[in-house]
Amino acid sequence: MTSPAPAPLRSSSGRRHVGLAALVFPVIIGMAACSTPAPTVSSSSAGSAGAASVTPAPDGQATPAVSPSGAAAPSAFSQSVTAALQALLASSPQPSTAQVRESLTAAGFAPAAVEVSASRTPTGLAADAVEVGILGDNECVMAQLRAGTVATSVLPVLPNGRCFVGSVQR
C-alpha cells in the first residue's frame, strides 16, 4: 500500500503578497517622511559666527527666515546660543557636559531649558561630540560640539515640550 502524495500547505501567491508588502511599505513611509521640510543647518568654528532660523509659516509649515540679501536670517536667540558655545569652545575644544551646562547658564539661559548629551561613553572614553538643545519660546536651538567647532540648527519644540528625545544629562 502506498500513501497519497502530500498536498501543498500554502500557495506561493500568498508569499508573493507578503514579500511585495514588505518592499512597498518602507517606500511609502520614506515618501511620507520627505513631505516635511528639512531644517536649516549652520556650521561654524569657534572664531566665526552664524546660525539659521526656521520660522513657522501661516499654513503650519516651517520655512527658513530669509534676509534681504537672500541668506537665512538667524534669530537673536540662536545667535546668542551660538556665541555662548563658541566662547566655551575657545577655552575648551572638547568640553564636558558640566562645562557646557555651566557656560550656557552663565550666559543667561535657564538651567531647565538646557539639555546636554553625555560627554563620556559608558566605558569612560570621551564622546566624539556633545549634543546640546536649548529650549526657546517656540523653538529649539540644537547644537553639536565636535573637535572645536559648533554646528547649529533651529527645530520646532517636541510635543512633550522638550528638545531631546530620550534621556538627558541633568
Give the pLDDT confidence of 101-127 residue by residue, as tens digits. Answer: 999 999 999 999 999 999 999 999 999
Phi then psi dihedrals of residue 88, to 5 deg: -65, -45
Phi then psi dihedrals of residue 70, to 5 deg: 95, -10
pLDDT for residue 165: 86
pLDDT, averaged across the chain: 74
Strand 130-135 to 114-116 pairing: antiparallel
- Paired strand residues for 42: 152
Length of the chain (residues):
170
